[in-house]
Amino acid sequence: MTDDPKGHDPKGLARNTSNYGDRDFALYLRRTFMLSMGWSREALTRPTVGICDTGSGLNNCHRHFPDLVRSAERGILASGGLPLQFPTVSVCEPSLSPCSMYYRNLAAIDTEEMMRAQPLDAVVLLGGCDKTVPAQLMAAVSANVPCVLVVGGPMMAMRFEGERLSACTDCRRFWARFRAGDVDAARIERVEGNLATTAGSCGVMGTASTMACIAEVLGFTLPGTAAIPAVHADRMRAAEASGALAVRLATEKSIVRPRELVTPESVENALRVLLALGGSTNAIVHLAAIAGRAGITLDLHRLNVLSDETPVLVDLKPTGQGYMEDFHAAGAMGAVLRQLRPLLHLDVPTVTGETLRERLDREEDAFVDHSVIRPASDPISPVGGLVALFGSLAPNGAILKRSAADATLFEKEARAVVFSSLPDMAERIDSGDLDVTADDMLVLQNAGPKGGYGMPEAGYLPIPKKLARAGLKDMVRISDARMSGTAFGTIVLHVAPESAEGGPLALVRTGDRIRLSVKERRIDLLVAEDELARRRAAWVPPAPALRGWDKLWQREVLQAPEGVDFAFLRPEGQ
């Protein structure tokens, strides 16, 4: 069993052998070490299926992954494959500094290289937290190894003192009340112990759940599996079925590879679904990165066209009332796709081999609970949840989640109150001496991709404490940062070019006037051009990073509209 000298693709353990100048010796050595792990010689002749495990002792979202690994192994073995589990980088927002986004590209590099380097005919990707799934999809498109994705699923909401709680929208709601003085220290401690009581990602339509739904729309998962709760038995059955599918992907000739799943049509479908879900702003960045790996540009102007055509159908937190377990029970992605059917490209493929049209035809009479997933004829909102803004403050675009914002603030001109950095904001935001009123706009600079913090979820600027204690719930906040998909408010994000690139955001000073118009899709800095020229001439770029990941990140990272990916990881010429 040696590599075919005619250049045919070798299979199983003969794939990707080390090159010692003697390929037979390399395979002999590989079999020796695989036999040392207790596999039989018969087992080592089977198709090899990797199980990419992103579990970690620092990642609650993934603490049930040992069960999913075993379930995937069961499906692979029963279908005649050889299951080979391997670890890759695990990223979990609460456990990483400066933020998990800073390590998404590292996870993508790790996953891509392990998929490509190891002797794997196909791969089961296990992902869950909000950066893990996009990292794996980016890697899959670049490596183009046959694969199926299994998401970890959302946590279950917990009954607590007369209401249900689940991270992290409820985290923010209670913390805002604590800052405002409405909740005391004893109660916030009780809440803390009841926000995340099961395994799984945040139980609302935050980034993790949004990306799971997008992965299903793109065709990377088994149909109907994006929203299964992490602790539900169906989650393990989905992993088993995905293991069996991976063996098919490893052995059949007419298989769908990742690059065939990411097309202009499937990306547009994903945008439609994102808008209908009232999903996370982060999904725009991640989808841009995934599309970019396939040489596709995500057009923010096109996003606005789609947003005006696509209704919001799903009533979940942070924009509505329900939780992901309600979405699952209501019919989940199948129900959403059926309602959006007239707006979708239906002939896109999926990993199972069927087209989206064939899937929806098969599910035509499936159950839907319209109290959670509304019919297109009676939407929650007739227009989509996200819009892109352009103008003199954001020449290359910015994002606003209008479905989570206060519409009374959509048309506004106001004074800017500027924080030059995250440390500056932390030091002054709660000061009694801060010169700020409820009518002002808060502006945060230097929190974008190159700002030194990896584009953290800092765009959800806290309401200054003195305003919060006076009862203020929302105000316009503007930054080049991101915000959690579980957050809410009238918040302008991803301003591009960012401050650290010398974009107009870097030139804003406290007292400047800014005009926001959601109707016109604009955000403008109302400062004379000669004054801006003077400020631009005085602007000093941040000091360069000296070594390691910091240096690579700063040198290669792209702006938000390009997905904050690394330039050298995109197709040549992109």
CA atoms within 13 A of residue 229's CA, in its CB half-sphere: 20
Residue 9: which pLDDT band, with cuts at 50, 70 and 90? confident
Residue 557: which pLDDT band, with cuts at 50, 70 and 90? very high
* Tokens 């009533």 sit on residue: 315
What digits encode the pLDDT tens for the residues 265-289? Answer: 999 999 999 999 999 999 999 999 9
Helix, strand or coil, per DSSP, at residue 387: strand
How much is the average pLDDT of 313-339?
95
What digits encode the pLDDT tens for the residues 380-416? Answer: 999 999 999 999 999 999 999 999 899 999 999 999 9
Per-residue pLDDT at 417 exceeds 90: yes
Nearest-10 Cα torsion for 449, 452, 456, 462: -120
Please say whether the beta carbons of 200 and 231 come within 8 A.
yes
Please say whether the beta carbons of 230 and 209 come within 8 A.
no
- Listed by start position, the domains of the chain span 14-45, 46-156+198-362, 167-192, 388-541
CATH number for the domain formed by residue range(s) 388-541: 3.50.30.80
Q: How far apart are CA 174 and CA 191, in angstroms?
A: 8
What's the pLDDT at 189? Answer: 94
What digits encode the pLDDT tens for the residues 57-74? Answer: 999 889 999 999 999 999
What's the pLDDT at 462? Answer: 94
In the beta sheet, which residues pair with residue 401? Answer: 386
- The whole-chain average pLDDT of the chain stands at 95
Does residue 47 have a cis bond before it (omega within 30 degrees)?
no
Q: How far apart are CA 420 and CA 498, in angstroms?
A: 12
DSSP 8-state secondary structure symbol assigned to residue 355:
B
Residue 6: which pLDDT band, with cuts at 50, 70 and 90? very low
What's the pLDDT at 574? Answer: 60
Residue type, 45: T
Residue 121: which pLDDT band, with cuts at 50, 70 and 90? very high
Please say whether the beta carbons of 213 and 184 come within 8 A.
no
Please say whether the beta carbons of 366 and 335 come within 8 A.
yes
What's the pLDDT at 4? Answer: 42
Q: Is the dihedral of CA 262, 264, 267, 273 positive or negative?
A: negative
Total length of the chain = 574
Per-residue pLDDT at 19 exceeds 90: no
Helix, strand or coil, per DSSP, at residue 20: coil
